[in-house]
């Protein structure tokens, strides 16, 4: 899952979360998760003041953005001194799962 500005949304991308009017998480969603975006839908979201959307996978790459392997390497390094501690080992697993999910790897779909 990746959060992207609506400007970068393209037809064919799939919403990973419900979309709300004007980005406010109150009231009824204007568009449900799992919906596949179309050009018409993107225009409509834009008219409703939606600024950003969550989409499945990791379709947008910014210049200079680090790859999954690089990010995982940095995570490993940060945890180098504390992995023996079971609580930290648990936190490492949580972060690794989060990284995998946000980079569009396995577990990319949210069930709720």
CB 16 within 8 A of CB 1: yes
Residue with tokens 């396995």: 106
Cα dist. 94→5, 14, 77, 98 in Å? 26, 25, 16, 6
Closest distance to another protein from the beta carbon of 88 (Å): 6
Residue with Cβ nearer another protein (5 or 12): 5
Among 5, 94, 105, 109, binds another protein (CB under 8 A): 94
Residue 89 vs residues 78, 94, 97, 102: alpha-carbon distances, Å: 12, 9, 12, 20
Q: Any contact of residue 38 with another protein (CB under 8 A)? A: no
In whole angstroms, the minimum distance from the beta carbon of 38 to another protein comes to 26
The widest CA-to-CA distance across the chain, in whole angstroms, is 52
Q: Which of 8, 30, 48, 91 forms a contact with another protein (CB under 8 A)?
A: 91
Nearer to another protein, 36 or 83 (CB): 83
Looking at 20, 58, 79, 100, which residue binds another protein (CB under 8 A)? 79
- Site residues (CB under 8 A) for another protein, limited to 49-78: 74-75, 77-78
**With the C-alpha atoms ordered 40, 5, 16, 22, is the resulting torsion angle positive or negative?**
negative
Q: Does 11 bind another protein (CB under 8 A)?
A: no
């Amino acid at each position: 899952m990746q959060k992207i500005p609506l400007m970068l949304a393209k037809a064919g991308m799939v919403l990973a979360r419900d979309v709300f009017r004007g980005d406010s998480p109150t009231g009824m969603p204007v568009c449900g998760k799992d919906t596949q975006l179309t050009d018409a839908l993107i225009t409509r979201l834009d008219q409703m003041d939606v600024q950003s959307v969550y989409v499945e996978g990791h379709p947008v790459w910014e210049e200079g953005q680090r790859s999954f392997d690089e990010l995982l390497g940095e995570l490993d390094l940060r945890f180098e001194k504390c992995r023996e501690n079971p609580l930290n080992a648990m936190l490492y697993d949580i972060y690794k799962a989060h990284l995998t999910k946000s980079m569009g790897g396995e577990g990319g779909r949210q069930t709720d």
